[in-house]
Structure 1
Amino acid sequence: MPRWLIPLIILLVLIIVVEVYTFQAFKTISKSKLVRFSFLAISVATYVYFFLTVLTYDRSKGQTPEFQMAMGILLTVSIPKLVIIFMLFGEDIYRWIVKAISAISNGETQPLPTRRKFISQIALGLAAIPFAGFIYGIIQGKYNYKVLKYSLTFKDLPEAFDGFTITQISDIHSGSFTNKEKIKYGVDLINEQNSDIMLFTGDIVNNKADEMDNWIDVFDKLEAKGGKFSILGNHDYGDYMDWKNPQDKVDNFQQVKDIHKKIGFDLLLDEHRYLEKDGQKIALLGVENWGKGFNQAGDLQRASTNVKQEDFKILMSHDPSHWEYKVKQDPFNYQLTLSGHTHGLQMGIEIPGWLKWSPSKYVYKQWAGLYNEAGRYINVNRGFGYHAFPGRVGIWPEITVIELKKG
């Protein structure tokens, strides 16, 4: 038996279980053949469209908007079904308990109680919430840019940099974009922050440099009075492509690096720059991608060459796992690290001051927002663009503004 056949069989079994369970909810609340047929038709069409897209799209083009849309439709239809399954499975446990109690009490086997209509109605009502959320996320949520502002105080910050402001953006993923006016709006919103410097923390494309061709004239409008600096992310290396020959990948990587210069960013490749103000300075360091389980090209020691331990340091490192496993305990003391990468999985629930949850938290300890351990900070930007899923649900695209204060 081919090795790929077992996962396929498991997947098909899971799909059948999901569809049978979900169909029970529709069957309970409605006897209309039209309702039942519509449910089956939508489910079949979704799976056919997704698998045809996956099996036929050209992998040499990377992850295309067409592939992302197929993924988006699959998630929009499938996630609400998980809500229904959760509710009906809970009811099935209740039904079997009732059957068992009846059998023990009466000494004879009783038929399994029928499903209760109101449980199915509640399940479908709850499922409508994520269904509507995913539709909004695909149409508008991915452009629902949020400006998040933080003020951080450091005792060792040079006096001249008291009140210094940083705008951080991350994960542009230009190969996913389809609406130029919406992206222009996002760029204008970034410029409105009028920060001293602008820092971009990686993933300018999905895979290929030419994904940025139609967006150069948008992103070259980004402005910062004290300069714009950037690093690479895991997607910028072209590792997720089927290249026709190795040289194509090498050439593409150089073209990706060239993009940063075209839009006015100083790309730091395991390097640092000193920012000076009124005779005082802070160190800005940028490393290549280093991620747990991903490309680990970044060399923190090389980036720190000729930087003094007593210098105030801002580190740009795309993947927050770098901070967790290497940076935060480094005795060289990197006071502030800026990352991206996670996107907060582009879906979750956030109620400021009350709740912040996404499946991303089960993969990354630092997955969205600001974290502090022993006086060292990391901000994980939720990303400007989107990838894989062509939308955002609850985890909105982010523009971060950080003000440095002298303690």
Structure 2
Amino acid sequence: MRWIITVVILLALEVYAFQAFKTLFKFWWSLSAYVVITVVVVGLMIYSFYQPSPHGSLTGFRAYMIGIFLSVVAMKLSVIVWMFGEDIVRLFMFAYSKLFTSSVENLPSRRKFISTIAIGLGAIPFLSLLYGMYRGKYNFKVLSYELEFDNLPEEFDGYTVTHISDIHSGSFGNTEEIEYAIDLVNEQGSDMILFTGDLVNNLAEEMKPWTPIFSQLKAKDGVYSILGNHDYGDYYDFKSKVEKQENFESLVKVHSNLGWDLLRNEHREIKRGESKLQLIGVENWGKGGFKKAGDFEKAAEGVDSKDFKILMSHDPSHWDEVIKHHEKDVQLTLSGHTHGMQFGIEIPGWFKWSPVQYRYEQWAGIYQNAKRFINVNRGFGYLAYPGRVGIWPEVTVIKLKRKSISEA
């Protein structure tokens, strides 16, 4: 039933959008080309869902067809908004003429210049989404922050952390771009590299071709990682529970093969002289139907509330629901998960918007509650839509600074 409703809505939108092109392009061949392109795109997208998909996910040919389909739909929706606005004006003009004048004219016809504007503006999201698939998904950005804490041990003043998240290796297809990104991470020369989950889309084997590259990540105090919601294989139709468990165990082993220290509801103590920093890592904990395997109480067992703590938790809703008011006083939480929806508009220091903000209050960048911070990484990879527009793949570098006594 849902499919029928969806098809009916899409057909209605299609008929409406066609009116704009019909107004602008009078030649039969141009209108025929419009119809053919629409039919081919829709047909190939439907065809892609009947083809084998790598690792049972929205990747490969299927993902690209979804991306192209979304590009076309975005253009038509933009056109529809303008055409609908003009139709409202036309209806008011018609009603006014009938009620207050003696005019016998029919409903005013659509104006060609409005159709031209509508199609011109519709080309912006269309081309943007196509660019996002071609280049945007590998447009890696290094975002640097300096955060001050009044209880940071002096020995850790200036300590740097590189934060990456949401690799989704099953979506990758360009080795050179990924090698470049790994070099970019290493070039930051941070004391520690932290990865906050979603190594794969579904299956451990997705990392097989990428293990030699990601194993090159190095930092003085090591590379640490946690699990994200996609790492449990919950979105794949396994033949049995045994097969699913074997996949999960293989995924855990991948972290070891990479030389990463996987934290599963546990913590590590990082020392500088007589001082220490507590690194805590929990399994996935997310509201709204996402897996809640994370156990902060277990992970932080034995950690003093006075210790300086960094928490790795994949889903930022965990910070919002549990951590930001927790008595253990976690000074810095690192998360990912949202990808910034891989689509949005950002003007650094001025404006930041993405549809995902209506689902997650903390969705990209640094947020603060009292003296507690969270950084939500925009993600290293991509999923479903094989691209990024405005919300670029991110490598975060955070420098920890001790607040002076006079400032504190």
Shorter-chain-normalised TM-score: which range?
A: over 0.9
Residue 20 (structure 1) aligned with residue 39 (structure 2): no
Distance, in Å, in 2 between the alignment partners of 1:34 and 1:166 is 58
Q: Would you say the 8 A contact 1:309–1:332 is kept in 2?
A: yes
The code of the aligned residue for 2:216 comes to K
- Alignment correspondent of 1:69: 64
Classify the secondary structure of the residue corresponding to 1:226.
Answer: coil
Q: 1:295 to 1:109 in 2, by over 3 A?
A: farther
Distance, in Å, in 2 between the alignment partners of 1:109 and 1:213 is 73
Residue 50 (structure 1) aligned with residue 59 (structure 2): no
- Alignment correspondent of 1:360: 356
Distance, in Å, in 1 between the alignment partners of 2:366 and 2:384 is 25
Runs of 4+ in 1 over 4 A off after TM superposition: 107-110
Distance, in Å, in 2 between the alignment partners of 1:349 and 1:109 is 48
Q: Trace 1:261-276 onto structure 2 (pairs within 5 A).
A: 261-276=256-271
For residue 279 of structure 2, the aligned residue among 278, 284, 288 is 284
- Alignment correspondent of 2:326: 330
Aligned-pair CA distance for 1:61: 3.0
Distance, in Å, in 2 between the alignment partners of 1:354 and 1:123 is 28
The code of the aligned residue for 1:389 comes to Y
The runs of 5 or more residues in structure 1 that have no matched partner are 1-5
Classify the secondary structure of the residue corresponding to 2:306.
Answer: coil
Residue 402 (structure 1) aligned with residue 376 (structure 2): no
Q: TM-score scaled to structure 2, two decimals?
A: 0.96
Q: 1:354 to 1:238 in 2, by over 3 A?
A: same
Aligned-pair CA distance for 1:47: 1.1
Q: Trace 1:8-407 onto structure 2 (pairs within 5 A).
A: 8-57=3-52, 61-106=56-101, 110-293=105-288, 294-407=290-403
Q: 1:321 to 1:155 in 2, by over 3 A?
A: same
Q: 1:131 to 1:192 in 2, by over 3 A?
A: same
Distance, in Å, in 2 between the alignment partners of 1:111 and 1:305 is 77
Distance, in Å, in 2 between the alignment partners of 1:58 and 1:385 is 18
The code of the aligned residue for 2:231 comes to D
Moved more, 62-71 or 273-282: 62-71
The code of the aligned residue for 1:145 comes to F
Aligned-pair CA distance for 1:224: 0.6
Deviations 1:109-161 (A, max 9, x none): 64111101111111111111111111111011000000000000000101100
Root mean square deviation of aligned Cα: 1.2
Aligned-pair CA distance for 1:55: 3.7
What is the number of equivalent residue pairs in this alignment?
Answer: 402
Give aligned-pair identity as a percent: 53
The code of the aligned residue for 1:230 comes to S
Distance, in Å, in 2 between the alignment partners of 1:162 and 1:211 is 39
The code of the aligned residue for 1:99 comes to F
Moved more, 262-271 or 37-46: 37-46
- Alignment correspondent of 1:3: none
The code of the aligned residue for 1:248 comes to E
Q: Would you say the 8 A contact 1:287–1:298 is kept in 2?
A: yes
Classify the secondary structure of the residue corresponding to 1:12.
Answer: helix
